[in-house]
Amino acid sequence: MIAALLPAPLLVPLLSGVLLAAAAPAVADPHAAILGTWHNPKNSVAVKTGRCGDKLCGWVIRATEKAKADVTSKGYPPLLGTALLRDYRATGTSRWSGQIYVPDMGRAFGSTVTMVDADTLNVKGCLIGGFICKSQIWRRD
């Protein structure tokens, strides 16, 4: 039907554009590289990252007995299932910003996560508008 309405010189570029658009890859998922299970430097906690709406979150899926006891002895909720990484959004190539929850303090802080390589994250949390910060290197399980 369209071919009957358009002259041949216009039809070829139009069809080529439609075919190219159909073959183009979908927009890349900004969280794909970071999805998986990660553990902290002491291997006392493992966090599984995943999508939470259009953002990235990470939940505790494994913890040592000592780590669990440290949190419950201070009156905070059980460690397993707790979202440590909250509402992170991509802020650059291999970089996300959000809130990190520190279970034994019962507080969340501003944070950035940067992928150093495919199996290494630099997780940084800051107090007082970024003046006091602490970083940890997390490894992929």
Is-contact 136 109, C-beta < 8 A? no
One pLDDT digit (tens) per residue for the chain, 141 residues:
444 444 544 434 433 443 334 444 445 677 789 999 999 999 999 999 999 999 999 999 999 999 999 999 999 999 999 999 999 999 998 999 999 999 988 999 999 999 999 999 999 999 877 779 999 999 998
66-102 residues labelled b (16+ CB within 10 A) or e (exposed): ebbebbeeeebeebeebbbbbbbebeeebebbbbbbe
Q: Domains of the chain (ranges plus CATH)?
A: 32-140 (2.40.128.520)
Question: Rounded to 5 degrees, what are φ and ψ at 101?
Answer: -95, 130
pTM of the model: 0.77
CA atoms within 13 A on the CB side of 131: 2
